Structure 1
Amino acid sequence: MTATYVVSALAEPVEILVDRWGVPHIYARSPDDVFVAQGFNAARDRLFQIDLWRRRGLGLLSEVFGAEYVEQDRAARLFLYRGDMAAEWPAYGPGTERVTRAFVAGINAFVALCRDRREHLPPEFTDHLPAYWAPEDVARIRSHGLFANLGDEVARALTLRDHGPDVEDLRRVREPAGPLRVPEGLDLSVIPDDVLRVYRLATGASRAGLDGSNNWVIGPSRTASGRPLLANDPHRAVTLPSLRYIAHLFAPGIDVIGAGEPALPGISIGHNGRIAFGLTIFPIDQEDLYVYETNDRHEYRYQGRWEPMERVRETVPVRDGDPVPVELWFTRHGPVIHEGDGTAFAVRAAWLEPGMAPYLGSMDYMRASDPEEFVAAMRRWGAPGENQVYAAPDGTIGWRPAGRVPRRSGWDGTLPVPGDGRYEWDGFADVDELPSVRDPEQGWWATANQRNVPDGHPVLVTRDWYAPFRYERIREVLAARTGWTVEDCLRLQTDYVSLPARLIQPLLDGLRDDDPKVTAALETLRGWDATLSAGSGAAALFEVWYRRHLRPALLEAALSRLVPADRRADALARVLPAEDEAADPRVDLDLLLSPGDRLGPPGTRERLILATLADAVADVERLLGTDQAGWAWGRLHRAEPAHLIEDRGVGSQPRGGSGDTVGATPYTPDFRQSGGATFRLVVDVGAWDASVAMNSPGQSGVPDSPHHHDLFGSWAADEAFPLLYSREAVERNLGDRIILRPSPEDR
C-alpha cells in the first residue's frame, strides 16, 4: 500500500518504507528533512502516547482530563528545566537545536493534519485534540528519566528513624559497605512518611516497573563469524504501546537504525553502519533531599541567615472548570516538595542542570564514525547515568560509563542532609575519571546495572547498585565458550536460569518431613535445573515459595531479634522489597547461607524452610490445582500489556523468568509481568542485515494498525525479527510505502 501526505515543513520529498515488522525506514535528501519525517512518522504511529508524554511532563493533564490532575500538574511543573535555552541547546552537541526544531515541526505537521481531518485521530482522542509542540518542550521535560536514588535515600532515613541501622541492613545492601552515619545536624524525626509524595506525582509514571537492563559486546575472537556482536535489552514497564520505537534514518551524513523514545529525536540504541551502541542504567546518585529550618515568611536558614525561597506563580488550565492558580517554591538547591511545621524539603537533582535532558545526548553519539568519536561524545552525556557498550567493524569493542557524578566532600549522599550550607556539591567528576574498557583481554564485556566500579575507586558513584545475579549469569555463559552467534545472544537475552534458586537448592539436601506433599516438593526442587521456564511446575513452586513464603519468613525471623513484637509488622513492611521492580535477593541469601544466630537457635533455618514449603504447596494447589502434573509457571506468570489510560489490552501470554533472571520478568502480587525487555536488539557488527530486534507488543499505538500488537506473540515466545539495514533488504520485505511531499507553497 502507498500513502501520500503533504508535510509543509519539508524542503523536498521523503520516502518511508515500512517493513513487514512495522519498522519505518526513512529516506530523505537532507538531515533537516529526515528529522521532520521522523517527527511526523512518530506522531503517525504514537500520537496519543507522545501527546500524553508532553502533557504529563509540562503539567497540562488537567487541561484535557479535568481538575483531579491539578496536583499532579503542579508537581510536574516543579521539575521542569527553567534555565536559559540559549545555553541549553549547545550542551548536547552541535546541531541538536536544529534537529529538535525539525523533529517538532514534523510532529506538529501531523497534529495539524489530525485537527483538519479527524479520521486520522487515534481513538483515545474522544473529547480533546492533540496539542502543538514547541522545540523547548523536548529539553525542558526532565521527569521521564530513570532516577531512583532519592527513594532509597528517604526509605533509608525512615527505616533508621523508626527501627535503627540493623533493620536498615535487612532492607538494602550498600556497596561499598560501611557503617551508616547520620549527617551532622539532620533530625530524622522531622522527615514525614509522605515527604516524596509530590516528587512521585511528578516522576512516578516514568518509574512504573523500574527495572534493570542488560548489554554486552563480544569481540571477534569469540564469535563464529569473526565479527563483533553487540546485544542490549533495556527493561522498562510492560505497556501498550511500549516505551521504545524502532526507526531507520537515512540522509546525507546519517544512516542510523535502532530504538529511541518516540517523543525524542534520534536513536539511542542501535548502529549507524560504522559503530553499534547499547546502554544500561549506571545508577549514579544524582539526587539529594535537603532538609531546612524555616520560618513563616517562606525563608530557610542557610549559612546562619534567613534566605527567601523563590516563588513562581502559574495557572493550570482545567477542563470544564476555571483555571487554577498554583504557587511553586524553590530554594537554591531546587524545588520544594514538602513544607511542615518549621521545616521544608527540597530536591537537588543533577538532571535539572543545563544539558541534562534525559537521552537527548544520543543526538551527539549516534553519528559517531568510530570508537574515538563515540567515547568523546560520552563526555557530554548528562543523564541518566548509562553503561554504554560499543563495537566497530574493525573488531573494537568497549565499555564507557557516562553521566554527571556530583562531588560530595565529606559526605556521600546516602541519606538526606540539612540544607544549611554544610552539604554542598563541589561540581561534577569528569567522565574520564570513571573506569572504562577497550578490547578487554577476555574478549567480551557485559553490564547489568551491577557494581562495576572497583574497590577503592576515588569517585563514589553510588552505594545503591542493583543485585549482581543477572550479570553473574551473563558472565558465566559468555565465559564458557567461543563461537558466539546472533542466535546465541538472543537465547542469552531470554535466559531464565535463577541463580538465587541454584544457591538455595543445596540447602534442601538431607531435609526430611512427615508430610508426603512436602517430601514430594523437596524432591521436585532438588531435581530441578533452576530454570524458570513457563512450562515448569518446579518453577511455579519455587517462585511461590521463595517470594510469598520463604522471604517474608526469613526477614520476620531476623526482625524478631531486633524489633519488639508490636512494631514487627511495620518493620517487615519496610524491609520487604517491591516484587514488581528489580527485587534484590542478596539479603535473603545472606540470611540463608550464613545465618549465624540471626534467625534463631541452630535448626531454625531448616524449620523455616520446611514450614514455608508446606505453606507454599498449599498455596500452589489453591492457585493451580492439586494435580502437580498440571502445574506450570506460565499459568500464573503472564504478560498483559496495560494501556496508558484505558481499560483495554491485547490479550495474555505465559511468561518464564522473574526479576532475578537475565530474561527479566518482574511481576506484581497477582503474577502479572510488570517490567522487562519489551525491546531487544542484537547487532551483527559489519553484517548489519543479519541483526535482529524485537519491540512488543508492536510498533504502532494505533489500534487498527496491523502493527499494533503483531509482535506480542513472538515476543512472548522469545523470538526476534530481522533488523534490516540495506535498502535492498528493506525492499524485499516491504509492507507499506509512505510518501511525504512538501506543500507547493513551501517549495
Structure 2
Amino acid sequence: MLFPTMKRFLRGLVWLLGLFLFLALLLGFSGYLYLRASLPQGEGRIALEGLSAPVEVVRDGKGVVRIRAATLKDLFFAQGFVHAQERLWQMEFQRRVGQGRLSEILGEATLPQDRFLRTWGFYRAARAAYGKLYPEEKEAVDAYAAGVNAFLASGAPLPPEFRLLGFRPEPWTGPDVLVWAKMMSYDLSGNWEEELKRHRLLARGVSPKRLLELKPPYPEDAPTVLRAEDLKLPLKREEAPSALLRMAPPRFMEASNNWVVAGSRTETGKPFLANDPHLALQAPSLWFLMALEAPGLRAIGATLPGLPGVVIGRNERIAWGVTNVGADVEDLYLLEEVEGRGYRYKGRVVPYGVREEVIRVKGGREEVLKVRETVYGPVITDALEDPPKTPMALRWVSLDEEDHILMAFLGVNRAGNWEEFKKALLPYSAPSQNFVYADVEGNIGYIAPGKFPVRKEGHTGMVPVPGNGEWDWLGYRRPEEWPQAFNPARGYLVTANHKVTPKGFPYALTYDWAEPYRAERIEELLLAKEKLSLEDMKAIQQDQKSLLYRDFRPVLELLTPLSEGARAWRDRLLAWDGTMAPGSEEALVFALWYTELTRLPQREVGEAYWDEPRYLLKALKEGDKNCDQPETEYRESCLDYAALALERALDRKEALGARAWGEVHRARFPHAVLTHTPLKRLSDREVAFGGDRYTVNVGPFDPETLAMGHGPSYRQIVDLSDMEGSLFVHPMGQSGHFLSRHYADLLPLWQRGDYLPMRFGAPLGRTLLLEPLPSP
C-alpha cells in the first residue's frame, strides 16, 4: 500500500513525463531545451554594465524577491533586471498595449485595439511626461529601464512567447516605464464611458427623470468613507440633485477594499491595515511581491512589473493601502463642426490638429491613422465602432503634459510619518486612490490625492457638454481641499469604492459610487467585536456573506412560485444564511435568480443585463412598467416577473448540470496570447471560487458564462505591533514562465485564503549576486 505522499509523488512524476512528451512533440527536443534554458537564473553571479556596486537578490521558497543595494540607483536598476528576468513577456505586452503596437506581433485581429489606443495617445502622453520628470524621479525611471536593458544584453534566452511569435524586444526607454502607469490610470478612470452611455440612453428617448429611476442616487443613509466630524473644511448646504446628477456605479469599477483599525480597537493596542485591490485576473499575475532595501528606502509589498518602487505595502515605520476613488477626471465635449474648416470654440472656427499614427501590421502592411486633435484633446469617438452622430473630444487629467505619479509613490515608500506621507502625495495626479495609512506610533489616516478638475457651476461631468469654451475646466483643486482624516474618534476607516464624502462636502469628486454593500459588511464585522485580532482581519478579507441576498430576501418571502420545484427552492433560499460559498447550491440558485432579475429593463435600456440592485428592488416592491411581458396576453406584476425569473433560474441550473456555485463560478487566469494556442493547457488556470460582485471577498461574474474575470488581485494585512508578522499574497505565482515551479504555486494559497509572511528578515532561499562589469 502506497503512502499518500508517495502517491502524490508518482502522480507528479507522471504529469511531468507527460508534459515533457507534449512539449517535445509540439516544439521538438531542441525547443523544449530552449524553454528550460529560458527559466531565470536565480543563483550565482552575473556581471552587468551600469551597476556601481554589488547587489544581492534573494529568492525565498515561494519566489518572493528581496533586493539589497548600496544606492537607490542600483536598487531600481536591479528591480528592473529582476522584473525582466521573471516577467519580461508581460512587460513587453504591457508596453505594446500602451504604445498601440500589438498588431506588429499579433496581426489584423488587434488592429481595432491599436487604433483606439493610438487615438487616445497614451504613449504620446508618456513621452511628454518623461520630458518633464523631476531629476530624482527621472533617475529612478532611467535606472529601472537600464536594468531591463541589462537583462536584454545579458545573453539570457528570452521567454518562450518571443520564440513562439518570432521577434525580439527593443531596448527599453523612459516612456516605456511611464506608459503602463498611464494604462493603469485608464483602467481605473471610466467616466467617459458613463457619459457616453447616458448620452445614448437619452437619445433612445429615456427621460432624465426615468434615468434617475433606472440608476438611483447613492443612498442617503449609506455609509461614507469620511464623516462630518473628520473634516476641517466647512460644509455647505447641498442642493437637490437633478435627474442627471447622482448615478449608480459605473461598469469599470469592479471593486477594491481597504481598511485601517486603530489600536484602541485591537488586541495588540496597535493598528491593523488591510487591503485587497480587485483587478483583472490574468496569467501571470498583475503584481510581483518584492522587498527593496537601499540607504534611504526599505519597503516591501506589491510591485508592478514595468514600474520602479512598491505600490502597496509597508516600510519599517508606516503601512499604506489603496482602492480606487473613481473620481471624475474625464469629460466629453460635443463639437459643433463647420464642414471642411474645423469646430466652433469661443466664437471662432478652430481647425483640427491632425497627427498621423503609422500602425504596422504583422506581414508587412502599414495603416496610417489620422487622429483629430482639439483644444480639449483627441476626438475619441472617431475610434469607436459605433460612433455617435456628434463627434466628441476627450479632456482627461492623464493626458496632461506633466505627470508625477511615480514621484509620489517613491516618496510614500520612504515616508516615516503622517506629515511625510502627505507631503509625498502632493505631486499625485491620477487615478485618484483612497490611501489608508497606519504607523508604528499608533496613528491612522486617510487621504484621496489627485488632480480634481474645478468645473463651472452647472457642469456636473455626468453627460457630454458643448465644446464651445463655455464649459472648460477652471483648474484643479488645491491639496488642502483633498478629502482626508487623521485619527478619527471612531477608531477605524473603511473604503470599498463607496461614497467618500459626507453630505455637505464643498465639492463633488464624482456622482458615480459603488453600491455600499461591501463597505457596510466590513463595518459590520469591524464593530462585531470589542477588540480585533489578526485572525479577524483575515476573516473579514475572506468573508463571502451577501448583503445583496439580505436585501432581496423579503422579495422571496412574497413570491408565489409556479411549480412545486420552485416553491421548494424558495423555501431553501429563505432558510439559507446568504453566504456565497463555492460549495453552496443555494448560492448558485440565488446568483442565477438575481441574474435573471437583471434582465428586467432590457427592452428599455438596450442591454441584456442591468445590474442596478436598488432599481430592481424598488421595481419588485412598488411595480415598474418593465415587469409586464409583451409576449403574454395578461398583465404581469413585478412579483410575477420575479417568480418567472426563479423558474428560469432553475431551468438554467438544470441545463448547467451543476450542484454547487464553485462548479460554474470559476476564477479564470488567462494568458494574453498563449490562451489562443495549443499551450493554453499549460499557461491558463482556473479554480472554483465563491462570492459575487457585492461580497467583501469579491467574486464578480459574467452573467452569460458565470466565469469570474476580476477579483482580489493582491491581499495584504499589516500588523503595526509586529511588522514582521504581516501577511501578503497574490494569485498565480511570482514567475511568468509556465515551466517555472513558481508560475502558479501561490494560486492554492490565494484560493483557500492563506498568506505568505511579509517580512524583511533574511529568508532561506537562493541568492544571486549582481556585480558591476569589470573595467576593461
Shorter-chain TM-score tier: 0.7 to 0.9
d(CA) in 2 for partners of 1:153, 1:367: 39
Letter of the structure 2 residue corresponding to residue 150 of structure 1: W
2:334 aligned with 1:334: no
d(CA) in 2 for partners of 1:61, 1:262: 18
Counterpart residue number, 1:102: 143
Counterpart residue number, 2:352: 309
2:434 aligned with 1:391: no
Secondary structure of the structure 1 residue equivalent to 2:555: helix
**1:210, distance to aligned residue in structure 2 (A):** 5.1
Unmatched 5+ residue regions in structure 1?
A: 183-206, 557-568, 578-582, 626-630
Give the alignment of 1:31-430 within 5 angstroms: 31-78=72-119, 79-80=121-122, 82=124, 95-113=136-154, 116-118=155-157, 120-126=158-164, 127-140=166-179, 142-145=182-185, 146-164=188-206, 165-175=208-218, 178-180=241-243, 211-297=254-340, 299-339=342-382, 343-356=390-403, 361-410=408-457, 411-430=459-478
Letter of the structure 2 residue corresponding to residue 77 of structure 1: R
Counterpart residue number, 2:8: none
Would the aligned equivalents of 2:130 and 2:174 in 1 still touch at CA under 8 Å? Answer: no
Letter of the structure 2 residue corresponding to residue 489 of structure 1: M
Secondary structure of the structure 1 residue equivalent to 2:476: strand
Counterpart residue number, 1:535: 583
Would the aligned equivalents of 2:253 and 2:326 in 1 still touch at CA under 8 Å? Answer: no
- CA deviation vs aligned residue, 1:409-465 (integer Å, no higher than 9, x gap): 121111001111111000011132133111111111100010121122121111111
Would the aligned equivalents of 2:562 and 2:647 in 1 still touch at CA under 8 Å? Answer: no
Counterpart residue number, 1:202: none
Would the aligned equivalents of 1:299 and 1:308 in 2 still touch at CA under 8 Å? Answer: yes
d(CA) in 2 for partners of 1:337, 1:550: 34
**1:250, distance to aligned residue in structure 2 (A):** 0.3
Letter of the structure 1 residue corresponding to residue 637 of structure 2: T
- CA deviation vs aligned residue, 1:199-255 (integer Å, no higher than 9, x gap): xxxxxxxx9975110000011111121121100000101110111112110011110
Secondary structure of the structure 1 residue equivalent to 2:700: coil
2:700 aligned with 1:666: yes
Letter of the structure 1 residue corresponding to residue 710 of structure 2: G
Q: Which is further off, 168-177 or 20-29?
A: 168-177
Secondary structure of the structure 2 residue equivalent to 1:390: strand
Letter of the structure 1 residue corresponding to residue 364 of structure 2: G
Letter of the structure 1 residue corresponding to residue 451 of structure 2: R
d(CA) in 2 for partners of 1:356, 1:239: 28
**1:745, distance to aligned residue in structure 2 (A):** 2.5
d(CA) in 2 for partners of 1:208, 1:357: 28
Normalising by structure 2, report the TM-score: 0.84
Letter of the structure 2 residue corresponding to residue 122 of structure 1: P
Letter of the structure 2 residue corresponding to residue 704 of structure 1: L
Would the aligned equivalents of 1:254 and 1:367 in 2 still touch at CA under 8 Å? Answer: yes
Secondary structure of the structure 2 residue equivalent to 1:701: coil
Counterpart residue number, 1:544: 592
Letter of the structure 2 residue corresponding to residue 19 of structure 1: D
Counterpart residue number, 2:750: 715
Pick the aligned partner of 1:681 from 694, 706, 716: 716
Letter of the structure 2 residue corresponding to residue 305 of structure 1: R
Q: Residues 84, 524 of structure 1: CA spacing in aligned structure 2 closer, same or farther, 3 A cutoff? A: closer
Give the alignment of 1:451-530 within 5 angstroms: 451-509=499-557, 511-513=559-561, 515-530=563-578
Would the aligned equivalents of 2:545 and 2:579 in 1 still touch at CA under 8 Å? Answer: yes
2:670 aligned with 1:642: yes
**1:45, distance to aligned residue in structure 2 (A):** 0.8
Would the aligned equivalents of 1:392 and 1:686 in 2 still touch at CA under 8 Å? Answer: no
Secondary structure of the structure 2 residue equivalent to 1:267: coil
Secondary structure of the structure 1 residue equivalent to 2:435: strand
Pick the aligned partner of 1:586 from 614, 638, 658: 614
- CA deviation vs aligned residue, 1:553-585 (integer Å, no higher than 9, x gap): 3x36xxxxxxxxxxxx3x2434833xxxxx542
Q: Which is further off, 735-744 or 322-331?
A: 322-331
Secondary structure of the structure 1 residue equivalent to 2:105: helix
Q: Residues 152, 511 of structure 1: CA spacing in aligned structure 2 closer, same or farther, 3 A cutoff? A: closer
Letter of the structure 1 residue corresponding to residue 773 of structure 2: S
**1:328, distance to aligned residue in structure 2 (A):** 2.6
d(CA) in 2 for partners of 1:341, 1:536: 45
**1:534, distance to aligned residue in structure 2 (A):** 0.6
Letter of the structure 2 residue corresponding to residue 499 of structure 1: L
**1:44, distance to aligned residue in structure 2 (A):** 0.7
**1:71, distance to aligned residue in structure 2 (A):** 4.6
Unmatched 5+ residue regions in structure 2?
A: 1-41, 221-239, 629-633
Give the alignment of 1:728-747 within 5 angstroms: 730=763, 734-745=764-775
Counterpart residue number, 1:10: 51
Counterpart residue number, 1:188: none
Would the aligned equivalents of 1:285 and 1:405 in 2 still touch at CA under 8 Å? Answer: yes
Q: Residues 51, 81 of structure 1: CA spacing in aligned structure 2 closer, same or farther, 3 A cutoff? A: closer
Secondary structure of the structure 1 residue equivalent to 2:576: coil
Secondary structure of the structure 2 residue equivalent to 1:338: helix
Counterpart residue number, 2:71: 30
Q: Residues 117, 476 of structure 1: CA spacing in aligned structure 2 closer, same or farther, 3 A cutoff? A: closer
**1:86, distance to aligned residue in structure 2 (A):** 8.5
Counterpart residue number, 1:196: none
Q: Residues 86, 11 of structure 1: CA spacing in aligned structure 2 closer, same or farther, 3 A cutoff? A: farther
Q: Residues 298, 66 of structure 1: CA spacing in aligned structure 2 closer, same or farther, 3 A cutoff? A: farther
Q: Residues 465, 208 of structure 1: CA spacing in aligned structure 2 closer, same or farther, 3 A cutoff? A: closer
**1:87, distance to aligned residue in structure 2 (A):** 7.4
Q: Residues 210, 243 of structure 1: CA spacing in aligned structure 2 closer, same or farther, 3 A cutoff? A: farther
**1:689, distance to aligned residue in structure 2 (A):** 1.6
Q: Residues 551, 74 of structure 1: CA spacing in aligned structure 2 closer, same or farther, 3 A cutoff? A: closer
Counterpart residue number, 2:644: 611
Would the aligned equivalents of 1:407 and 1:426 in 2 still touch at CA under 8 Å? Answer: yes
Normalising by structure 1, report the TM-score: 0.87
**1:490, distance to aligned residue in structure 2 (A):** 1.8
Would the aligned equivalents of 1:404 and 1:429 in 2 still touch at CA under 8 Å? Answer: yes
d(CA) in 2 for partners of 1:495, 1:166: 37
